[in-house]
């Protein structure tokens, strides 16, 4: 299981986000192994089945991909400060991936033009890196997915840009708590809908909203597959099985 967290805030004291210039797509050397969708002309492939890492070799490769994704995320997060653009973070992620014979999974997926997702403030997820400069008080989600050794590793985290408001800090801290609580219940035989129930209960206790439009997903040899992980109370069927790999991505909001 690969974990992700996300949060969004909309503070009246900060102007809303506006589009900024997007730089050209970065090249990937031919020597870097690529997932099949790279040549699919913007299609979004989806696997109906569940991804289960059944062999010890598959489990080892999945762990390696997840660990490398975590390394990239840590390194990208170290760049976060006022005055840096999300485009600079994208270039760093891209270069770190290709230097380690890994493909940045978002690049060309469904026509996505960049190598990482950077979502600032009220932008919930899948933000496209651009020329906007990070400002004191922003909150930023960096969402890293890499394709290495035939497996996708997927992880994200919230970062503070300088000093942020108590309101924004609380939002991120509660979202992380909800993520950790959801991970703690995962074991073979547990229904997937217990994840949403756990997250929603914490959000309610803190008077935060739950974003229902975006979900977690199976991940592994395929970028996105079943199960669909809802982060709100739901009646979706299915139970966890040993060896399954999927993301949990709680997205909470103020109000």
**pLDDT one-digit tens code per residue, 232-255:** 999 999 999 999 999 999 999 997
Q: What percent of the chain has pLDDT over 70?
A: 96
Residue 3 — very low, low, confident or very high, per pLDDT cuts 50/70/90?
low
Q: What is the pTM of this model?
A: 0.95
What distance in Å separates the CA atoms of residue 41 and residue 50, rounded to the nearest whole number? 25
Residue 122: pLDDT over 60: yes
Residue 103: pLDDT over 90: yes
Do the beta carbons of residue 177 and residue 198 sit within 8 Å? no
Residue range 170-199, pLDDT digits in tens: 999 999 999 999 999 999 999 999 999 999
Give the pLDDT confidence score for residue 39 in this predicted structure: 81
Residue 139 — very low, low, confident or very high, per pLDDT cuts 50/70/90?
very high
Give the pLDDT confidence score for residue 44 in this predicted structure: 82
What distance in Å separates the CA atoms of residue 221 and residue 51, rounded to the nearest whole number? 8
Residue 5 — very low, low, confident or very high, per pLDDT cuts 50/70/90?
confident
- Residue 243 DSSP code: T
User: If DSSP codes are grouped into helix, strand and coil, which group holds residue 2?
Assistant: strand
Give the pLDDT confidence score for residue 12 in this predicted structure: 47
Least confident of 4-18, 39-53, 58-72, 216-230: 4-18
What distance in Å separates the CA atoms of residue 229 and residue 254, rounded to the nearest whole number? 22
User: Which class in CATH covers the domain with range 7-254?
Assistant: alpha beta
What distance in Å separates the CA atoms of residue 108 and residue 128, rounded to the nearest whole number? 12
Identify the CA nearest to 192 among candidates 148, 123, 246, 135.
246
Give the pLDDT confidence score for residue 13 in this predicted structure: 65
- Average pLDDT of the segment spanning 85-97: 98
> Which tokens sit at 96?
């770190």
Place of tokens 């997702």: 117
Do the beta carbons of residue 245 and residue 51 sit within 8 Å? yes
Residue 90: pLDDT over 50: yes
Identify the CA nearest to 11 among candidates 226, 166, 116.
166
What distance in Å separates the CA atoms of residue 184 and residue 196, rounded to the nearest whole number? 13
Residue 109 — very low, low, confident or very high, per pLDDT cuts 50/70/90?
very high
Give the pLDDT confidence score for residue 2 in this predicted structure: 65
């Amino acid at each position: 299981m690969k974990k992700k967290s996300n949060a969004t805030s909309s503070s009246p004291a900060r102007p809303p986000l506006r589009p900024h210039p997007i730089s050209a797509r970065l090249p990937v050397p031919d020597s870097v192994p690529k997932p099949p969708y790279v040549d699919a002309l913007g299609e979004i492939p989806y696997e109906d089945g569940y991804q289960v890492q059944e062999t010890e070799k598959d489990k080892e490769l999945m762990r390696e991909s997840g660990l490398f994704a975590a390394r990239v995320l840590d390194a990208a997060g170290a760049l976060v400060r006022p005055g840096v653009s999300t485009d600079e973070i994208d270039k760093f992620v891209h270069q770190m991936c290709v230097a380690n014979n890994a493909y940045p999974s978002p690049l060309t997926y469904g026509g996505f033009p960049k190598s990482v997702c950077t979502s600032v403030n009220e932008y919930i997820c899948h933000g496209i890196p651009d020329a906007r400069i990070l400002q004191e008080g922003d909150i930023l989600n960096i969402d890293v997915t890499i394709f290495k050794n035939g497996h996708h590793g997927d992880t994200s985290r919230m970062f503070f840009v300088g000093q942020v408001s108590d309101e924004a800090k609380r939002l991120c801290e509660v979202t992380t708590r909800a993520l950790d609580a959801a991970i703690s219940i995962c074991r073979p035989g547990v229904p997937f809908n217990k994840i949403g129930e756990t997250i929603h209960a914490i959000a309610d206790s803190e008077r935060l909203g739950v974003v229902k439009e975006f979900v977690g997903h199976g991940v592994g040899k395929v970028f996105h597959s079943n199960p669909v992980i809802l982060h709100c109370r739901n009646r979706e069927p299915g139970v966890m099985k040993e060896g399954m790999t999927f993301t949990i991505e709680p997205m909470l909001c103020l109000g």
